[in-house]
Amino acid sequence: MCDERQVAQWARRTINRRTFGVGAMAGAAAACTSVETGASEQAAGGVQHRNVTFATSDGTMDGEFFHPASGSHPGVILWPDIAGIRPAKRQMAERLAMAGYAVLLANPYYRDVAGQQFEDFADFAGNGGWGKVTPWRSKFDAKTISTDASACAGWLMKQAEVDSDRGIGTQGYCMTGSFAVIAPSADEHIHAGASFHGGGLVRDGEGSPHRLLREDAHYLIAISQDDDAKAPEAKTALRSAADTSGTTVEIEVYPADHGWCVPDSPAYDEPQAERAWARLLALYREAL
């Protein structure tokens, strides 16, 4: 997972033209989609989008819902990374909806703020984002992550656009990689969890995500090469836990750095991001 020092380094780095271009694409995709509360507009590729809110045990969660224009489809909870909901994450949610999924882009910070807080990752890194989100992140533990995942799953299962006879998938990036690993243990409707350059997957204590793998769920754990260099024992612990629980899990260290899957990240690596995206779709085809 990224740390304060890494974010500071990114803040001093000039975003190269490739990353800027992809970020601009994300903004363009978002611009094609209505963001008015309660709105439902036709977007590019036959995808519809609306802002949503629903109750959890700790308050009112907000998010954005993307789905194909017709029919019912497997539900997915997409947790953004540390910089929260923003155009790049909307781009990812819309792309997944275009692949045939009903996607809830959930706000992990709903206990403190609603909606978008940063325009892109450069805004987060360069304008005090770390300090701003630190108190919000302090409220995440196995219990709050579980109750939030269950609330998201419950909301999805009530939507006409979601095929309630099929399982729900969940995916997370950076700090929310652990959300995706914990979620299947929180709700029986969640059948798959995908973690991309996720942080804190192996910790001390019974609440560690790697100790919460569910036997009948499917997992994809994609680890960045720099995270692996910092904690090479994590992948071994994850594999051992998966073998012990008998769960189905794909664990791989990718030849890319932390953040490589996210279009507006300084570490974005398009070829490896596309490979991880293909594995995500394979996971959902198998599990949902």
pTM for the model stands at 0.87
pLDDT score for 111: 98
Candidates 3.30.160.100, 3.40.50.1820, 3.30.70.20, 3.40.50.300; CATH matching 4-287? 3.40.50.1820
- Tokens encoding 187: 């709700």
In the chain, what are the domain boundaries?
A: 4-287
16: Cβ–Cβ under 8 A, 6 or more apart, which residues?
A: none
pLDDT band (50, 70, 90) for residue 275: very high
pLDDT score for 2: 59
pLDDT score for 5: 55
d(CA 168, CA 162): 9
pLDDT band (50, 70, 90) for residue 6: low
| Exposed e or buried b per residue across 231-248, where buried means at least 16 C-beta atoms within 10 angstroms of its C-beta | eeebbebbeebbeebebb
Residue 194: CB atoms within 10 Å: 27
The per-residue pLDDT of the chain, averaged, comes to 88
pLDDT score for 43: 46
Chain segment 95-113, per-residue pLDDT in tens: 999 999 999 999 999 999 9
Query: Is the predicted pLDDT of residue 22 greater than 90, yes or no?
Result: no
Q: At what angle do helices 17-31 and 87-98 cross, to 10 degrees?
A: 70
Nearest to 74 by CA among 99, 40, 56, 53: 99
Give the CA count within 13 Å in the CB-facing half-sphere of 163.
13
Burial of 77 (0-12, 13-18, 19+ CB in 10 A): buried
Chain segment 30-53, per-residue pLDDT in tens: 333 333 333 334 444 599 999 999
Nearest to 27 by CA among 107, 114, 119: 119
